[in-house]
A = this chain, B = another copy of it.
């Protein structure tokens, strides 16, 4: 088994050149279970309740996963946290963050090869949790890169596409965006209108036209994975649009500003006007919604565990505030029943949501996860993170309006996580269909 330090080195290959040699034999990617509990059992002292991990979900993690989580948390707290307040205020996103993440091996971490770390689904989720503990916007930027684009290329791309894009994306040198949602088609991507038609003159090329909106990273992306309807078949296909080779006037990616959430991420449109794309940049086999849905499934998993990080940060902030702030006879707010109940509720939902996400991660690696499971944990964890964050925000009283306490930012962000990658009601209906066998979308 890897020592923790080695696990960290896995994540930061540049810092540990010998990594490949030392870990090749011992590392078991997607290792799904280590009975950490048993080793705890040998301790002689009575167990102590840990409010930061109330149901000891860490006992379900391998040592590698714990090490990866620690490394990611350290980076996020040390490097991301100090920037987020200003970035959110200014509504800016620093693309070097993706470079940093790439350097540390955090991008596409659960993919194998191409410079990716090859860690378990849960480990990758722990990375999203670490990032989202700081900010959901930062996590969104990473999710798009890792799950939606790298994951899509990894699963559906040709060998050439993988070789061309994945190594640079893993390093954060090539930035990606994922173009599915259109202005008129949010919850119902099956109706998308962007088209790809054969180039009338240039053989081996297609022309893409259409609009995508609410596309994280689009203004800074080098490669845009665009889902369009192939005119000759009417089927949805995936295309890798490389910005650097698009003729002027065929691709625009204007940013969308003045968002009231996820302001530390960058969001934009993708406007394609007869943009020529070589056939070699089309995903070879996947047709219909299976392609984008598979990518979304992976990203949604990251959201499910990621939002638990945001919620845990809200709990920690609210707890600290409640212990420090004193009202009425010099009692800390934490002394009051109404305050304690808010903390208890939130801690419970964080603990439950974490366990559920770990379980689905294990099932995913075992090939046993279904999309409905992802719908369940994405919906529930986003919803509960949001609800509890809002309630915890009440503890701050009037001070909640100051952005320096951070919780208002989480609240605003978490609302967006509830609406994207499947608004909660849509996931309710996905679950309802799975339970009853009857669809109720229309």
Contact = CB atoms under 8 A, between A and B. Distances in A.
B438 A334 contact: yes
A401 interface: yes
A239 to B, nearest CB: 22
Interface string A284-324: 00000000000000000000000000000001000100110
B368 A37 contact: yes
A319 B425 contact: no
Interface stretch (A154-162, A224-232, A347-355): A347-355
Contact of A432 (B43, B340, B377): B340
Contact of A355 (B341, B359, B432, B441): B359
Interface centre among A43, A339, A341, A344 (most CB of B within 10 A): A344
A419 interface: yes
Contacts of A368: 37, 40-41, 47, 56, 59
Interface string A393-404: 110111111111
Interface stretch (A4-12, A15-23, A196-204, A408-416): A408-416
Contact of A435 (B89, B186, B338, B343): B343
Interface stretch (A127-135, A252-260, A274-282): A252-260
A248 interface: no
Contacts of A367: 40-41, 43, 47
Contacts of A412: 260, 408, 412
A24 interface: no
A432 to B, nearest CB: 3
Interface residues of A, number: 118
Contacts of A258: 89, 402-404
A428 interface: yes
A337 interface: yes
Interface in A83-105: 89
A55 interface: yes
A369 to B, nearest CB: 7
B338 A54 contact: no
B394 A418 contact: yes
Contacts of A262: 401
Given A56-B359, A337-B338, A403-B258, A397 B187 contact: yes
Contacts of A356: 55, 351-352, 355
Contact of A380 (B40, B352, B398, B419): B352
A57 interface: yes
Contacts of A117: none
10 contacts: A41-B365, A47-B363, A51-B435, A56-B359, A56-B363, A335-B440, A337-B338, A340-B428, A344-B376, A352-B356
